[in-house]
Amino acid sequence: MSRSAHPAGPRHADVLPEGHYSAPATDLNELDPKVWSRTVTRDADGALTVGGIEVARLAQEFGTPAYFLDESDFRARCRAWADAFGTEADVFYAGKAFLSRAVVRWLKEEGLNLDVCSGGELATALDAGMPAERIAFHGNNKTVAEIERAVEAGVGRIVLDSFQEIARVSHIAQRLGIRQRVQIRVTVGVEAHTHEFIATAHEDQKFGIALADGQAAEAVRRALTLDGLELIGIHSHIGSQIFDMAGFEVSARRVVQLLAEIRDEHGVELPEIDLGGGLGIAYTSDDDPREPHEIAKALGDIVTRECESAGLRTPRISVEPGRAIVGPTAFTLYEVGTIKPLEGLRTYVSVDGGMSDNIRTALYDAEYSVALVSRSSEAAPMLVRVVGKHCESGDIVVKDAFLPADLAPGDLIAVPATGAYCRSMASNYNHALRPPVVAVRDGQARVIVRRETEEDLLRLDVG
């Protein structure tokens, strides 16, 4: 994984354990629009506002830590994806990034489809009124009960992940008198993360059926003979936080090759291919994500070209962005607590949340930005590590960043681009109360997922 490079700085160069850091060239008061949601600005007093509301007011009304989700930005991103892919392709929002009933309603209104990968996500989607035919059901170990629920509900597709599941889904569908539309998830031997992709040996994982040794062709053979299944296409998902389209190129080429083999062997041209999600977003100013229309064009061109050379009709393409839609639309607001300067090293800034509301830094060494948002400051930059309040030294929210040196307890700081995989992966570690998600739009803020209470915790603990 590429790390953002901080060029050598004279002040700390000989003492810093991990590379060299120098104060950023940009003004710390500036909010890079790449990493903040679209309606975020600083007002005349220097305080951050989102959807026209100042953070101090949000903190007062909803408390901290809390996630603030810019609803108009979320909707705009949905529309951008839907428009980019047009009527010839389908966009499925990957619900695991962040799902709530409000989000389901927005997706429905903006014309997107939805991926779910558990009974809980399916229940949320159905409860909020997402038409079942617009839902795709994923996962490497769907339970029988989950499959039954999905088939009964009439989900538009189930993505089959193993030989056992091919038999299981067909059996359940037949018993329910349904011919279930399915795709087969294949592993194409490509794994992509951020700026790199690796084109070998990534069949060594729990998901999908390998293309390389003829397993995928065998899976297709079986699926085509089973009465409970209508095989509509092939699915491939190659990684996460991807900027380089080369991995998709290899993946699309291999999937199209499989379609050609299927045509040659069975005389059928499968009508769809799904290229998965994983499109990257800007967590820091060093990241340069592509726009949905560029991604749509790149993927469309690759598939069209490969199909032309294989003499196939171009299948309908689907994609499954999760992070790329919701990630940039939210920030986490924290109140600064203990500040611990370590002379010549860095300053540890503790906040009132941590790994319970953002596990990504601890889990993946993810990078984030951070800004002082309750006021502006002309103080010099200081190198900080933003840490949580949990009993764990790996409880880091932002590993390396700069904040103004006059930072003080009680200041509000915000970490942008926390819309994806933060609330959805939040935990109750140390009996933390999971923060609320507050949707902000046009001067209005409303809770869409409320803050947990001690009562919630105690209710589960039945003694």
Ligand X SMILES: *Cc1c(COP(=O)(O)O)cnc(C)c1O
Catalytically active residues, by annotation: 391
- Which has the closest alpha carbon to 94: 105, 109, 107? 107
Cα–Cα dist 415/373, whole Å: 10
CB of 36 to ligand X, least distance (A): 19
Residue of the chain from 322, 354, 388, 419 that contacts ligand X (CB under 6 A): 322
Q: Is 66 in the site for ligand X (CB under 6 A)?
A: no
Site stretch for ligand X (CB under 6 A), options 19-27, 47-55, 196-204, 317-325:
317-325
For ligand X, the binding residue among 211, 279, 401, 439 (CB under 6 A) is: 279
97 is a site residue for ligand X (CB under 6 A): yes
CB of 323 to ligand X, least distance (A): 4
> Rounded to an integer, what distance in angstroms lies between the CA atom of residue 436 and that of residue 268?
49
**Considering only 8-16, 17-25, 213-221, 276-284, which stretch makes contact with ligand X by CB under 6 A?**
276-284
Q: Is residue 124 involved in binding ligand X (CB under 6 A)?
A: no
- Choices 220-228, 315-323, 344-352, 353-361 (CB under 6 A): range interacting with ligand X: 315-323
* 103 near ligand X (CB under 6 A): no
**Counting contacts by CB under 6 A, is residue 237 touching ligand X?**
yes
Taking contact as CB under 6 A, which single stretch among the options 216-224, 272-280, 380-388, 392-400 is the one that binds ligand X? 272-280
Nearest alpha-carbon partner for 203 in 238, 233, 177: 238
Count residues near ligand X (CB under 6 A).
17
Per-residue binder mask for ligand X (CB under 6 A), 387-426, x = binder:
---------------------------------x------
Q: State yes or no: residue 346 binds ligand X (CB under 6 A).
A: no
94 in contact with ligand X (CB under 6 A) = yes
Among 119, 228, 289, 321, binds ligand X (CB under 6 A): 321
Q: How far is the CB of 115 from ligand X (least distance, A)?
A: 6
Q: Are 170 and 228 in contact (CB under 8 A)?
A: yes
d(CA 125, CA 122): 5
Applying CB under 6 A, does 262 fall inside the site for ligand X? no
**Cβ–Cβ < 8 Å for 129, 108:** yes
Which of 137, 334 has the CB closer to ligand X? 137
Identify which of 81, 78, 66, 128 has the alpha carbon closest to the alpha carbon of residue 107.
78
| Angle between helix 292-310 and helix 246-266 axes, rounded to 10 deg | 40
Residue with smaller CB distance to ligand X, 130 or 279: 279
Candidate residues 324, 397, 437, 438; the one interacting with ligand X per rule CB under 6 A = 324
Q: Is residue 80 near ligand X by the rule CB under 6 A?
A: no
Residue 65 touching ligand X (CB under 6 A): no
Residue 289 within binding range of ligand X, rule CB under 6 A: no
CB of 180 to ligand X, least distance (A): 18
Which residues of the chain form contacts with ligand X (CB under 6 A)?
Answer: 94, 96-97, 115, 138, 237, 240, 276-279, 320-324, 420
